[in-house]
């Protein structure tokens, strides 16, 4: 505390000041409001410290798993973060953040933050006792050594980490595990794996156009994506496309805010998009609107695809399955095929289905058969990892001499397998599926998962089947969670360790959507006793080596900034035209793109080097070679349940912060008035949403944005509120994902439930 006197005194002031700014910015122009630059005095620099008037300024970046990965400029006075704005230098961020982003000023100072290492007397009791760092590390290290002693290896130590903070240095959590030995890792991703595999089969990689070239499109289909909430900065490009004459079509079972802005909206039946895409493809074929030139020169398997369409697909069939009128399917198919360039933004929501990968392949095919792949303003846009070629030094740590694990080398499945493969090894980690975390913990034997290390991850809120997760946690002998807040997983942990917020550490942030790179400078000192994930690894190593010399290879003294610098390499410098990483202190940089179009050379990454309408590799992996229709999941309750992402939170983050609660104080289940009246439910009634897995008691909100067969709750964590949609969401796998991410995706939107008045 001593070192933070100034911050703490400044805190009340700071927050009163910046809260007013926050509300003003919100009021000014919605989500993209930016702060008035005229208030700021000119820039002066001394000894690497940048001042604007009385404020010291810093470069930061939003590290959440958001398309936008905003570049942030932060203003600090007397060691206190006063306010932030979107960086002006990035044409993508263009000076503005989202409603959540503006609340960042509050995050370091939020009163409910985890401030010290603490131990809970009985999981779920809320009876927390403060520990010193030394005491916390001692308890953890002794447990690690006990497992090593008992099992002869560390496979009893499990680690789960995902998208709490995607700063490159946070891969240190994996590195810390490797430095202890061969451990159990939960791998895979709930975000986008089915679509990644689909794009790999079709194109040979996942690679999207620069979103800043949307204005060049003459036709834009937003398919199962909600950028008005999930990628707010992309909307300006979509509006720009429309201003230049493009038509915008949105396809979603929910009339989202994105759909509300479109020129045409299709309320597709959930999980029926594959049929819709194939119906459009059949009509394009029948009308002779296939781009023969493109297809002949750049693809394989089109004739087989065409004959599949002729024999199995009709527009009427597609209309019946999807609920979209046949004449609209025909009209939009014709418009799409003739407007050049035309593009489709394929959302992640659409592929979280048992047929999600097959659906993405059918949508890719529409873009390819109309010759729109490789074109500026065109493309089947899904995501990319072009700007992520860092050293992953923090991640690639060496196991201690003599460490044992799973015999043999792990078959490295997919590009996302981050276990620090060290070349010739006789042992490897035990790999479990992150999308079935609860089941995997329940099933793991010899040894069982005894201890779980949770970092940048909130399994109780974000993983699937909460009742099963509770049973799984009951099996664990020790749970350590590293977090900023006392979230629902911390509630079920034995020890919590306080971690820095983005303003308190150094890191680097890249995007999976746009092509900008940002540095994240330390702008304020760590609050209370928070440490960065790198410092936590060093502290653990120190204790491990004290108790048992040689038991951990991680350095015991670290400097987070130096570790950030170690992540850069010449390729990154060349890619972004940087002399040194320090150039990023002047502002974010954009990759030097040969073209804004992905695949502009039309040399694809597939085995044939062409676009593959027919993929033998896909067939080898147990799917259809062609992008055929795949049946959806059988309903197991009366209504379909959707739990998509909300405007006011990223998963379990933001919404717990007091400022955000002013915007979004409570959760609701949303239902169509007809669904409600059939059940005698009025707006505002307390209802029970239930299925075989569990139930949620919640207030009802009636809305006509949903069809009558669907109910919806947004995934989110409300501080001091037991709400959790995972009581109702199971861990059924999506069809694809194993090829590139090592694990299949998860059918988050193939869920069913019913609702009744309490
Ligand atoms: N029902 C349903 N479930 C879903 C989804 C859905 O649509 N519906 N979406 C899925 C998707 S796409 C995703 S990406 C996942 C996301 O799920 P998670 O990966 O769990 O992501 P978050 O909830 O954003 O963050 C997890 C935790 O990281 C913490 N954190 C933040 N910064 C740091 C840091 O610097 N260090 C450490 N150690 N911790 C930090 C946060 O406080 C938070 O408690 O959820 C999935 N689950
Ligand atoms: N505000 C905010 N922004 C975010 C996030 C957040 O939680 N909040 N999360 C970030 C992360 S981790 C991710 S993965 C992305 C996700 O970004 P998006 O993919 O845009 O968001 P989702 O809510 O996952 O799903 C998008 C839409 O898919 C629809 N959908 C579901 N099933 C189907 C279907 O069968 N067919 C069709 N056509 N549509 C369907 C849903 O109704 C939803 O409107 O956003 C990122 N940005
Ligand atoms: S959540 Fe997304 S839009 Fe908001 S500040 Fe972060 S990166 Fe930007
Ligand atoms: Mo995600």
Q: Characterize the bridge pairing of strands 430-433 and 507-510.
A: unpaired
Ligand 3 within 6 A of CB of 62: yes
pLDDT interval class at 426 (50, 70, 90) = confident
pLDDT value of position 507:
98
pLDDT value of position 24:
63
Residues 323-343 have a mean pLDDT of: 98
User: Is it the case that residue 374 has pLDDT exceeding 60?
Assistant: yes
Ligand 2 within 6 A of CB of 65: yes
Domain 639-757 grouped into CATH 2.40.40.20? yes
When the pLDDT of each residue in the chain is averaged and rounded to a whole number, the result is: 93
Structure tokens that stand for 430 in this block: 């035990």
Domain 118-191+388-590 grouped into CATH 3.40.50.740? yes
- Most ligand 2 atoms within 8 A of CB, residue of 166, 318, 645 to mutate: 645
**52 strand-pairing partners:** 43, 55
pLDDT value of position 49:
72
User: Is it the case that residue 591 has pLDDT exceeding 70?
Assistant: yes
Q: At what angle do helices 326-338 and 273-286 cross, to 10 degrees?
A: 60
Ligand 2 within 6 A of CB of 268: yes
Residues 740-752 have a mean pLDDT of: 97
Nearest Cα neighbor of 229 from 248, 247, 254 is 254
Query: Which CATH architecture group holds 193-382+595-620?
Result: 3-Layer(aba) Sandwich (3.40)
pLDDT value of position 7:
36
Report how far apart the first and last C-alpha atoms of the chain are (Å, whole number).
Answer: 48
Ligand 3 atom with the smallest distance to the CA of 72 is: 5
The alpha carbon of 553 and the centre of ligand 2 are apart by a number of angstroms equal to 40
pLDDT value of position 22:
62
Question: Cα 536 to the chain's mean position, in Å?
Answer: 24
CA distance 87 to 97: 9
pLDDT value of position 52:
86
pLDDT interval class at 11 (50, 70, 90) = very low
Nearest-CA residue for atom 36 of ligand 1: 456
Ligand 1 within 6 A of CB of 533: yes
pLDDT value of position 720:
87
Name every residue whose Cβ is closer than 8 Å to that of residue 153 and which is 6 or more positions away in sequence. 181, 182, 403, 404, 405, 427, 447
**414 or 178, greater pLDDT:** 178
Ligand 3 atom with the smallest distance to the CA of 102 is: 5
Residues 699-726 have a mean pLDDT of: 96
Residues 63-77 have a mean pLDDT of: 97
Query: Are the folds of 118-191+388-590 and 193-382+595-620 the same?
Result: no
CA distance 537 to 92: 35
The alpha carbon of 103 and the centre of ligand 3 are apart by a number of angstroms equal to 10
Core vs surface per residue 731-748: b (16+ CB within 10 A) or e = bbbbbbbbbbbbbbbbbb
Nearest-CA residue for atom 6 of ligand 3: 62
pLDDT value of position 44:
43
Which of helix, strand or coil describes residue 392? coil
Residue entry with tokens 């006789």: 426
User: Is it the case that residue 336 has pLDDT exceeding 70?
Assistant: yes
The alpha carbon of 169 and the centre of ligand 4 are apart by a number of angstroms equal to 19
Residues 7-13 have a mean pLDDT of: 38
DSSP state of 610: S
- The predicted-structure confidence for 651-688, as pLDDT tens digits, reads as follows 999 999 999 998 899 999 999 999 999 999 999 999 99
pLDDT value of position 26:
57
Burial class (CB in 10 A: 0-12, 13-18, 19+), 79: middle
Question: Cα 388 to the chain's mean position, in Å?
Answer: 15
CA distance 397 to 419: 9
pLDDT interval class at 422 (50, 70, 90) = low
pLDDT interval class at 50 (50, 70, 90) = confident
Which of helix, strand or coil describes residue 313? coil
Q: What residue ranges do the domains of the chain occupy?
A: 6-109, 118-191+388-590, 193-382+595-620, 639-757
CA distance 44 to 107: 28
Ligand 2 atom with the smallest distance to the CA of 353 is: 35
- The predicted-structure confidence for 220-279, as pLDDT tens digits, reads as follows 999 999 999 999 999 999 999 999 999 999 999 999 999 999 999 999 999 999 999 999
Residues 554-579 have a mean pLDDT of: 97
Give the homologous superfamily in CATH for domain 6-109. ADC-like domains (2.20.25.90)
Does the N-terminal peptide bond of residue 533 adopt cis geometry, omega within 30 degrees of 0?
Answer: no
Ligand 3 within 6 A of CB of 69: yes
The alpha carbon of 518 and the centre of ligand 3 are apart by a number of angstroms equal to 13
- Most ligand 1 atoms within 8 A of CB, residue of 651, 694, 729 to mutate: 651
CA distance 61 to 487: 23
User: Is it the case that residue 417 has pLDDT exceeding 70?
Assistant: no
| Distances 607 to 413, 603, 615 between C-alpha atoms, Å | 18, 11, 9
User: Is it the case that residue 31 has pLDDT exceeding 60?
Assistant: no
The bound ligand whose nearest atom lies closest to the alpha carbon of 70 is 3
Ligand 1 atom with the smallest distance to the CA of 644 is: 7
User: Is it the case that residue 62 has pLDDT exceeding 80?
Assistant: yes
């Amino acid at each position: 505390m001593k070192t933070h006197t100034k911050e703490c005194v400044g805190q009340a002031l700071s927050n009163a000041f910046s809260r007013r700014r926050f509300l003003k910015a919100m009021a000014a122009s919605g989500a993209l409001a930016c702060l008035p630059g005229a208030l700021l005095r000119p820039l002066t620099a001394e000894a690497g410290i940048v001042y604007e008037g009385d404020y010291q300024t810093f470069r930061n970046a939003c590290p959440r798993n958001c398309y936008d990965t905003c570049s942030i400029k932060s203003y600090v006075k007397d060691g206190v973060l006063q306010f932030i704005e979107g960086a002006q230098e990035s044409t993508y961020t263009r000076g503005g953040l989202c409603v959540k982003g503006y609340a960042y000023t509050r995050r370091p100072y939020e009163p409910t933050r985890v401030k010290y290492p603490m131990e809970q007397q009985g999981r779920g009791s809320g009876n927390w006792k403060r520990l010193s760092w030394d005491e916390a590390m001692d308890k953890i290290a002794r447990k690690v050594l006990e497992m090593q002693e008992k099992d002869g290896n560390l496979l009893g130590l499990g680690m789960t980490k995902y998208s709490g903070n995607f700063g490159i240095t946070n891969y240190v959590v994996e590195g810390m595990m490797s430095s202890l030995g061969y451990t159990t890792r939960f791998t895979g991703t709930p975000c986008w794996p089915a679509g990644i595999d689909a794009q790999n089969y079709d194109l040979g990689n996942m690679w999207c156009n620069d979103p800043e070239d949307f204005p060049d499109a003459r036709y834009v289909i937003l398919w199962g994506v909600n950028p008005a909430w999930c990628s707010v900065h992309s909307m300006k490009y979509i509006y720009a496309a429309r201003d230049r004459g493009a038509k915008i079509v949105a396809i979603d079972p929910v009339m989202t805010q994105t759909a509300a802005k479109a020129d045409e909206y299709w309320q597709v039946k959930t999980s029926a998009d594959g049929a819709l895409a194939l119906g459009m493809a059949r009509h394009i074929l029948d009308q002779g609107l296939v781009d023969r030139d493109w297809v002949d020169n750049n693809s394989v398997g089109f004739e087989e695809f065409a004959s599949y369409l002729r024999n199995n697909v009709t527009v009427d069939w597609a209309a019946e399955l999807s609920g979209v009128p046949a004449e609209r399917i025909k009209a939009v198919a014709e418009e799409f095929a003739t407007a050049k360039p035309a593009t489709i933004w394929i959302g992640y929501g659409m592929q979280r289905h048992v047929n999600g990968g097959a659906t993405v392949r059918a949508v890719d095919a529409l873009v390819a058969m109309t010759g729109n792949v490789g074109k500026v303003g065109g493309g089947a846009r899904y995501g990319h990892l072009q700007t992520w070629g860092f050293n992953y030094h923090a991640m690639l740590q060496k196991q201690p001499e003599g460490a044992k694990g799973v015999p043999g080398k792990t078959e490295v499945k997919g590009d996302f397998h981050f276990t620090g493969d060290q070349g010739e090894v006789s042992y490897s980690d035990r790999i479990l599926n992150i999308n079935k975390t609860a089941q995997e913990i329940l099933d793991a034997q010899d040894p069982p998962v005894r201890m779980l290390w949770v970092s940048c991850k909130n399994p109780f809120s974000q993983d699937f089947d909460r009742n099963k997760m509770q049973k799984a946690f009951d099996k664990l002998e020790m749970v350590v969670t590293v977090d900023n807040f006392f979230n629902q997983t911390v509630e079920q942990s034995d020890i919590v360790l306080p971690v820095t917020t983005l303003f308190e550490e150094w890191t680097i942030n890249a995007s999976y959507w746009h092509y900008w790179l940002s540095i994240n400078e330390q702008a304020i000192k760590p609050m209370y006793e928070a440490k960065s994930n790198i410092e936590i690894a060093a502290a653990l190593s120190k204790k491990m080596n004290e108790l048992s010399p040689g038991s951990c290879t991680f350095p015991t003294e670290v400097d987070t900034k130096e570790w950030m610098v170690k992540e850069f390499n010449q390729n990154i410098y060349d890619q972004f035209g940087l002399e040194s990483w320090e150039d990023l202190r002047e502002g974010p940089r954009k990759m030097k793109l040969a073209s804004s179009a992905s695949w502009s050379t039309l040399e694809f990454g597939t085995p044939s080097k062409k676009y593959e309408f027919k993929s033998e590799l896909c067939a080898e992996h147990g799917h259809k070679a062609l992008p055929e229709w795949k049946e959806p999941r059988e309903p197991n309750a009366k209504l379909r349940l959707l739990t998509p992402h909300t405007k006011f939170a990223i998963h379990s983050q933001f919404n717990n912060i007091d400022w955000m609660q002013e915007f979004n104080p409570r959760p609701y289940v949303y239902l169509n008035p007809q669904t409600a009246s059939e059940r005698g439910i009025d707006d505002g009634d307390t209802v029970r949403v239930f299925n075989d897995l569990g139930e949620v008691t919640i207030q009802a909100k009636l809305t006509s944005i949903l069809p009558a067969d669907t109910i919806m709750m947004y995934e989110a964590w409300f501080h001091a509120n037991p709400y959790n949609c995972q009581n109702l969401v199971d861990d059924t796998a999506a069809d694809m994902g194993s090829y590139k991410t090592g694990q299949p995706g998860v059918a988050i939107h193939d869920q069913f439930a019913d609702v009744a008045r309490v």
